[in-house]
Structure 1
Amino acid sequence: MFHLKKKVKNLSKVEGSIVAQSLNEETSNFAQYYFAPNIQTKARRPGRFDDGGQRPFYHSYVPGIFQEIGRFSGKRKGIWLTEQEVSHIHTYILRNCEDILPYESIFANQAREAHADISDQALEEMKQELFAKWLKYYVQSGVTRDQHFPTWFEELVGGPLLQVVSAPMYCTRGYVFCRKARTRIRKTVNYGVVVKTPGLDYYGEITDILEVEYPGLVNLKCTILKCDWYDPTYGQGIKVTRFGVTIINSSRRLDKYDPFIIASQADQVCYLPFPRTSNVNDPWISVTQTNPRSRVEGTSYEEPLQQPFASMPNQTQASSSQVPLVNAENLQLEDLEVAADEEGSDEFAETSESGDSDYSSDSE
């Protein structure tokens, strides 16, 4: 009834409204099969807790950071980035690609040979500024020497386009990431992210969601999150209370320009202010790690198919009594004593009591 009531648009003609809307519904259901597979229809709409994304298809091998499963949501638009932003994104993608690590080692060795007393911090700054340009020159000089490189590798070192696609939402791995500007009027907080490293945990807020594209035949695409990071210094920007709750100082920011991360590196967190009656402007807020949708973290115990221990046989005790020995070369039959009442008796002989049995035949 609820489904039929929604079809009523004209209260004076209820039946006609239901028939008209039913025809429109049948028409839309049949017509959706003629649309391209990439067009989202009512039947193809993903569920509430489903990312609905598919792994990008490439005709050749590409690194895993370009094969992330996810989907964009909301109205997308094209924006232009600055030269600094594009250079920083390109360098970040190169340094987080496993296939580029051997070339990064070559760059580090050449830098240490040229500057013997270079420090680790200075080397990191040199990688951030010169590694992308050095790698592009390295590939171009290798091509002139007839050195072969994969097609995706040549397109990657060429750099991305200045124009990228910006989206308000991105769904991946059970998370729904949103821009902070979109959630100002909402009760949900989906803009908090954390990137965990061996040394520090970086907490931040998403300011934009970008899809970076590399021109060429392979057409590599990578999803990037632009974030505003809090100060990761322990004791100043991050603390852990005696109850095990992580709190951050919302008034302190990261002083280094490093706003971009790959979407597959981020986990979602929620920032909650403390309910205070006094000192309302206290900048410390709590951090809660959120679980991916439709996933429950827990421990499972599986009984082993094999017992963890084996029973050991009891140790035999040595007997001090004399054990009779049998000589195998002089085998003789043992004479058994037969009882007197068993001599001459026949096992199958009929007795006088058999005739008086209840099971005897009438003829007897």
Structure 2
Amino acid sequence: MSSKEKELFYEVLKNAKFPHGYSTNIAHWIRKRKLSGLKTHDCHVKMQELLPIALRRSTDKRISSVLIELCTFFRVLCSKVLKLDELKVLEERVPEILSTMEKLFPPGFFTIMGGDSRSYCSKTFGDQIEHDTNKEECRFPTVGESDGGIDVFKLDEKTWLQAHRHVLFNCESEVVENYKNEHIAEIKRSHRKHCLNQHQLDCLHFDTFPEWIKEKATSNIIKDVRVLAQGPSFIARRFNAFNVNNGYRFRTKQSEEFKETQNSGVMVVSKTESYASTSDNAPKSANITYYGRLNDIVELNYYEEFKVVLFKCDWVDVTKGRGVKDDELGFTLVNFSRLAHTGNREHHEPFIFAEQAQQVIFVQDPVDHEWFVPRLIKPRDIFDMGDDNSVQFESSMQSDLTYLSLLETARVPENECDDWVRSGVDGIVIETDIHSLASTNDGEANAEGGNDI
């Protein structure tokens, strides 16, 4: 690497922050311009999380692409959940990755890594794990516990409505779902003369359903639904940190401003209806990945019947070309100067359930400082035990598939590589005796000729 490339490489490693307890402070070692002395886990973190991002800007595309593929291979291979079809893809890609690396690096670079990496993929896991799925479920079970100070405060009307509306539209209740369908049917009947398109119908349903169900909910329905329809108390609790049962520990961005750790990064995968225009009657439904930073942790109190913990986040505008973009190597980048659903308007949706959130770290691009590369962080001590009814790891699996796709995106076709010699960097001079080298080559040629005869 040139001096400038080394500076870019070290800048990424130096600015990276990880969640509390996830890894040692790698920046401490970077200040000393050394990468040795790290524990085994920290080396895995460096290779799987930071090295691909650091190489994006600091090396030639041909070199960075194959090293990113190698890092992605180990990241997927070290996932807590593996599927046979994913292992098959890895097994097929490993020889191609190693073949490309052999053209770029000297033979001394290679060890038994190649054989081990391929043979591991050929192993399968056939044992089935039994587990109990007959536990009694609550409509709003406890999802974690607060950590640190607690502040009691009063919600303003706009924030109260935004929070309550999220709970209403995302709770899993057949009774509430029936009320939604009834409300939509009533809107259609009341607008027969002026037929609404799908976008107008959805907006009207979204705006008026909370007040409508409050009037409809009577004493002859389930108590939980009746309390839910009335809405929470305006008196709520606020936390600076919250430990979710799925293993993540979150902190608000304000509370970690001067810390060496990063626990405020949030990612959520949500099924979203997309409209081409306001007159579109056939919206497309797809899973959209949203990235944000945790701004507030609020516990709603539904009059002691149940409590709901919500995360209020600063969400990046996911419109392509605005707050989110993909680079040529397949990495997603986000820009926090371009936000959406800030909560300033009544129809905004800044809240999510605490259990919906997955933790990510945002690594700053060393050249375009407004852009950050999000990297999904998985809990160290939580494992998927194969519960078909559990959705805890569903979006984590989707993220693994995203990283698996980097194996294809990061690849540079060989026909784009006219030569394999690095330019712009001083070469290495090797002193040797030309005459002795020539005589050695002549001897090898004579030996080969003798074998042919």
What TM-score do you get using the length of structure 1 for normalisation?
Answer: 0.58
Asked if 1:229 corresponds to 2:229, the answer is: no
Matched, 1:112 2:162: no
- Equivalent residue in structure 2 for 1:164, among 224, 229, 236: 236
- State the partner residue of 1:202: 290
User: Which of 174, 177, 183 is the aligned partner of 2:256?
Assistant: 183
Closer, same or farther: CA 241–106 of 1 in aligned 2, 3 Å: same
Kept in 2, the 8 Å contact 1:180–1:207? The answer is yes
User: Does the CA contact (< 8 Å) of 1:208 and 1:227 recur in 2?
Assistant: yes
Quote the Cα distance in structure 1 between the aligned partners of 2:308 and 2:384: 28
Distance in structure 2 (CA, Å) of the matches to 1:67 and 1:61:
7
Match of 1:44 in 2: none
Correspondence for 1:251 among 323, 337, 343: 337
Compute the displacement of 1:234 (Å): 2.0
Q: For 1:268, give the aligned amino acid.
A: Q
Alignment of 1:279-294 (within 5 A): 282-294=369-381
Q: Does 1:77 align with 2:163?
A: no
**Alpha-carbon distance in 2 for matches of 1:175, 1:61:** 22
CA distance in 1, matches of 2:209, 2:137: 23
8 Å CA contact 1:196–1:202 kept in 2: the answer is yes
- Cα distance in 1 for residues equivalent to 2:188 and 2:266: 36
- Give the distance between the partners of 1:171 and 1:155, measured in 2 at CA: 27
Change in CA separation of 1:186 and 1:298 when aligned onto 2, cut-off 3 Å: farther
Contact 2:267 2:292 in 1 (8 A): yes
Aligned residue runs from structure 1 range 119-138, under 5 A:
119-138=197-216
Relative contact order (C-alpha < 8 Å, sep 6+): which is higher?
2
Cα distance per residue 1:17-45 (max 9 Å; x no partner): xxxxxxxxxxxxxxxxxxxxxxxxxxxxx
Residue correspondences, number: 226
* Residue range with higher mean Cα deviation, 240-249 or 130-139: 240-249
| 1:236 CA displacement | 2.1
- The offset of 1:295, in angstroms, is 3.7
8 A contact 2:166–2:349 mirrored in 1: no
| Partner SS, residue 98 of structure 1 | coil
Answer yes or no: is the 8 Å Cα contact 1:194–1:266 preserved in 2. Answer: yes
The separation in 2 between residues aligned to 1:204 and 1:174, in whole angstroms, is 19
Shift of 1:110: 1.2
Is the 1:68–1:264 contact (alpha carbons within 8 Å) kept by the matching residues of 2?
no
Give the unaligned 5+ runs of structure 2: 1-135, 272-285, 343-347, 387-453
What TM-score does the superposition give when structure 2 sets the normalisation length?
0.47
Which segment is superposed worse, 175-184 or 266-275? 266-275
CA contact (8 A) 1:209 1:226 kept: yes
Greater fraction helix: 2
Deviations along 1:182-226, one digit per CA (max 9) or x if unpaired, are 11111211111111124321111111111111115xx21000111
**What is the aligned-residue RMSD (CA, Å)?**
2.2
What are the superposed Cα offsets for residues 281-323 of structure 1, whole Å, 9 maximum, x if unpaired? x411111111113146899xxxxxxxxxxxxxxxxxxxxxxxx
| Partners of 1:289 and 1:215 in 2: CA distance | 36
Could you tell me which amino acid in structure 2 is paired with residue 223 of structure 1?
A: V
Separation in 1, partners of 2:189, 2:217: 21
Partners of 1:72 and 1:120 in 2: CA distance: 41
Any gaps of 5 or more consecutive residues in structure 1?
1-59, 300-364
> Could you tell me which amino acid in structure 1 is paired with residue 316 of structure 2?
Y
Distance 1:221 1:77 in 2: 16
CA contact (8 A) 2:332 2:373 kept: yes
Q: 2:300 aligns with which of 198, 212, 216?
A: 212
Q: Is the 8 A contact 1:213 1:220 kept in 2?
A: yes
> Which residue does 1:96 correspond to in 2?
170
